[in-house]
Amino acid sequence: MKQLLKEREGAVPASVRSDLEHIFRAAYPRVVGVAARVLGSRDEAEDVAQETFLAFGRTTVPAGEAVGWLCVAAAHTALNHLRSGRRRVSREEAASDRVGVAPDVAETVVAKEEQQRVRAALSRLPRKQAVALVLRHSGLSYAEVAAALDLSPASVGTTVRRAESALREELNRHASSR
């Protein structure tokens, strides 16, 4: 996938893409949505979207392929954030800044722990499976996922099902080792 992205990036344009603002306005909510699904934080997702659009602005990706490219790049960047552990610091800062108490603290704690388990398991999946799963569960159609990941549309369902199965296995493996 990295090779595909590098090939599509091509030469660095001398100036910002003329279509960047139009594509940004059209694709920003979807790009943030993909990143938020991986990260669980809108603030961090917006940071990832910013990184993604900055990278996109230097590419020569055709406008018709922009949304797919941006969603894949956002998923990769968000997974990189998860894997690098940068989130730990921001979680700790957010926890120390919180004011007030949630109505049901136990439910909140359990839900957050479960979300963290799922995100950690997602970060351990093979990259292509993780991205396919995130893109499909972010609302992209099979055709859009296929175009974004250079798959045949017929294989997207199988790839997503295998990713879901691998995610369940990963969750079970780490649940039994606790």
Determine the residue type at 80: N
Q: How far apart are CA 120 and CA 105, in angstroms?
A: 22
pLDDT at 7 exceeding the cut of 70? no
Q: State the residue for tokens 């997702």.
A: 45
* Mean predicted lDDT score pLDDT of the chain: 81
Determine the residue type at 46: E
- Under 8 Å CB-to-CB from 34, ≥6 apart: which residues? 45, 71, 74, 75, 78, 134, 135, 138
Nearest to 75 by CA among 50, 117, 39: 39
pLDDT at 1 exceeding the cut of 80? no
Residue 3 has a pLDDT of 44
Q: State the residue for tokens 């956002």.
A: 74
Angle at 42 between CA 38 and CA 44, to 5 degrees: 70
Over the stretch 109-132, which tens digit does the pLDDT of each residue have?
777 888 888 888 888 989 888 898
**Helices 105-124 & 20-39 angle (0-180, nearest 10):** 110
C-beta separation of 43 from 6 below 8 A? no
pLDDT at 9 exceeding the cut of 70? no
pLDDT at 81 exceeding the cut of 50? yes
Max Cα–Cα distance, the chain, nearest Å: 54
pTM (2 d.p.)? 0.61
Q: Residue 150 corresponds to which tokens in the numbers above?
A: 């250079």
Residue 6 has a pLDDT of 47
